[in-house]
Amino acid sequence: MTPPEETEVVGGVSGPQATLQKIDDDIAAPFESFPTTRWLAAFTVAKIGAAIFGISFVYTIAVGIGSWGNNNPVGWGFAITNFVFWIGIGHAGTLISAILYLLRQKWRTSIARFAEAMTIFAVIVALQFPMVHTGRPWLAAYWLLPLPNANGIWVNFRSPLLWDVFAVSTYALVSLMFWYTGLIPDLAAARDRATHRVRKLVYGILSLGWKGSNRAWQHYEKAYLLFAGLSTPLVLSVHSVVSFDFATSVIPGWHTTIFPPYFVAGAIFSGFAMVATLIIIMRKYFKLQHIITIDHLDVMNRIVLVTSLMVGYAYMMELFIAWYSGVAFERFAFMNRAFGSYGWAYAIMVTCNVILPQLLWFKKIRRTIKYMYPIVIAVNIGMWFERFVIIMALHRDFLPSSWHDFTPTIVDYGLLVGSFGLFLTLLLLFCRFLPTVAVAEAKAVAPGAQPTGGHHA
């Protein structure tokens, strides 16, 4: 990676104005000032979205899955698509915060906090779906857990859905703890800067008495490293397990050994696209361009490009294997993906996930917001459709007599749109109340923070 001219540290915080005090002030500004009209407007929109989600959610539980478009051949529809989509979004956060941390990719510091927060919220949103999609969520909520019960019935450890329960709950817990651990020094900073008693109290409690002592920092670093180590395998395992839902089935188009790596690549792909989508807006409105620089975006775009090639490879390999296997049902399933009732969705998927991201080969596009933004948005859309296309393998499986198309209802759309509302609500609250960039880490890569930098603060 060639260091851009205007920076002193590769992927570091840029610009002469980035003094350590200024980093503190800039990062703290969003949660120390009165909310701007922009924030309030965004929050209102997000709240409306969240309300749509809530209404659709409650309506589904009150009335039944019949309020969705699902039917007998197509048992899963939008809900599981959304679930896989949001779980995938979460992956970027863990990848950035854990794997890149272990690989000493210092440029990650500016975006790690935000990406982690996004992970948490994406997982929270994702977790809504497995529950609400069951026929009897009031029972599923605890029967899916391995709790001893009077009937002596145990959960079925052969079911990939149960593996999901373990994988996703582990993921959610580890991500949460990882995120929170990273937050502690910054919460303490927020506490120390706080002028209002309530703020002081809340941040005080949340920062768990952090004093910034050398010992504390040592423990903190160890814990952070430990969590990074714990999270790293999860990046690979969670989406692999999610892909088992499909891969272990007998349904043509689902029964595919390529799914685990393909899903992981796809998850990272969509996750980075989502991080880019959000962070481009955030850095602008919270004026953090000097902390989250164009270099960061460039690096992220490169990862988007690489993962796009991976999913593109997977798409082609799926088709090849379907043909090479010679199995009539497999061949048909993939022909049907491209030319069946949901061929349009397949076309969107390929266009958004494979064709458009190729533009990122060009440096100019990678480093220009207005060019890259449509591309990352397209990737978000494309990845949602990827999951949709996979799940729609159900509409034409083995026996033509049972084939039936899936037509989503307004409740399906409500849950889809609403899930973004819920996600954004959580994200905006995060921006409002917590430091969106890891202050301590950002300082560590700021000009002058390094012993070799020449400027001792």
Partner 1 sequence: MSSNDATPNDPTGYAEGAPAGADAMHQGLAVLGRSEVPIHDDHVDAPSASEMTRRTAMKMLSLTAMVGMVSGCVRKPERRIIAMHDRPEYQQPGMPLYYASTWLEGAHPYGLLVKQIDGRPIKLEGLQGHPLNPGGKSTGPMQASLYSLYDPERLRSPKQGGADVSWSAADKAVVGALKGAQRVLLVTRSTLGPAEKALVARFRKAVPGALHMHYEPAQDRVRREVWKQVYGAPGEVTTSLENAKVILSIDSDFLGTDGDVLGNTRGFSATRDPNGEVFSRLYVAESGMTGTGTSADHRIPLRPSAAKEFVVGLAMALGGDSKTLSASAGRFGWDPKVLEALVKDLNANRGAAAVLAGPHLPAFVHSAVASLNATLGAAGKTLGWNPTPAAAIATDPAELLQALNAGPDVAIFLGVNPMHDFPGAGFADALGKAKFTVAQGLTEDETLAAAEIALPSAHALESWNDAAVSPGVKGLAQPMIAPLFGGRQIGDSLLAWTKALATGDDALAKTKDFHAWLKSAWGLGQTAWEGALRKGYVGSAAKTTLPAPKGAGFPEPADPVEGGYDVVLALHPNTGDGRWQGNAWLLETPETCNKVVWDNVAAMAPSTASALGVEEGDWIKVTVGEASVELPVLPQPGVQKNTIVTHVGYGRTKGAGHGNGVGVNVAALGVGLLAAKVVKASGDKYLISRTQHVFDQDYSHTDTPVKRHIALSGTPKEYAEYKAQPPRPDPSTLDPTDGTLSFPDTQKHKIPLTQIDEAVDYSKGAKWGLAIDLGQCTGCNACMLACQTENNIVIDGKEEVAKGRDMSWIRIDRYEAGPEDNPEILLQPMLCQHCDNAPCETVCPVNATTHSPEGLNEQVYNRCVGTRYCNNNCPYKVRRFNFFNYTGKQTTSPVQELRANPHVTVRTRGVMEKCTFCIQRINAAKFAVPDRGERLKDGAVTTACQQACPADAIVFGDANIKGGKIDRARKSDLAYHVLEEINVRPNVTYAARIRNVHPDLDHPVKGGH
Q: Which residues bind partner 1 (CB under 8 A)?
A: 63-66, 69-76, 133-137, 139-140, 143-144, 151, 153-156, 158-162, 165, 245, 248-251, 325-329, 331-332, 335-336, 339-340, 394, 396-405, 407
**Smaller CB separation from partner 1, 33 or 407:** 407
Which residue, 17 or 407, is less far from partner 1 as judged by CB?
A: 407
The 3-state DSSP composition of the chain as helix, strand, coil percent (nearest 5) reads 75, 0, 25
- Through-space distance between the first and last CA atoms of the chain, rounded to whole angstroms: 28
Based on CB atoms, which residue is closest to partner 1, 105 or 409? 409
- 222 burial via Cβ count (<10 Å: 0-12, 13-18, 19+): exposed
Closest distance of CB 320 from partner 1, Å: 16
Which residues are within 8 A (CB) of 365 and not within 5 positions of it... i.e. 6 or more apart?
301, 359, 371, 372, 375
- Closest approach of Cβ 143 to partner 1, in Å? 5
| DSSP calls for 382-430 | HHHHHHHHHHGGGGS-S-GGG-------HHHHHHHHHHHHHHHHHHHHH
CB closer to partner 1 out of 406 and 423: 406
Output the smallest distance, CB 404 to partner 1, in A. Answer: 3
Residue placing its CB nearer to partner 1 in the complex, 162 or 223:
162
Structure tokens at 80: 């599981």
CB of 317 to partner 1, least distance (A): 19
In the complex, least distance from residue 242 CB atom to partner 1, rounded to whole angstroms: 13
The whole-angstrom separation of Cα 70 and Cα 239 is 24
Q: Output 268 or 415, the one with its CB closest to partner 1.
A: 415
Nearer to partner 1, 339 or 361 (CB): 339
Residue type, 347: A
Between CA 444 and CA 291 the distance in angstroms is 12
Q: What is the DSSP string of 71-90?
A: -SS----HHHHHHHHHHHHH
User: Which CB sits closer to partner 1, 303 or 390?
Assistant: 390
Burial of 372: CB neighbours in 10 Å, binned 0-12, 13-18, 19+ = buried
Asked if 438 contacts 79 with a C-beta cutoff of 8 angstroms, the reply is no
Going by the DSSP 8-state scheme, the letter that residue 11 receives in this structure is: T
CB of 256 to partner 1, least distance (A): 14
Longest dimension (CA), the chain: 76
Distance CA 378, CA 360 (A): 13
C-beta of 53: minimal distance to partner 1 in Å?
21
- Minimum distance of partner 1 from residue 333's CB (angstroms): 10
Q: Are 184 and 220 contacting, i.e. CB atoms less than 8 angstroms apart? A: yes
How far apart CA 305 and CA 366 sit, in angstroms, is: 10
Q: Closest distance between partner 1 and the C-beta of residue 132, in Å?
A: 11
Q: Which residue number, 20 or 155, has a Cβ lying nearer to partner 1?
A: 155
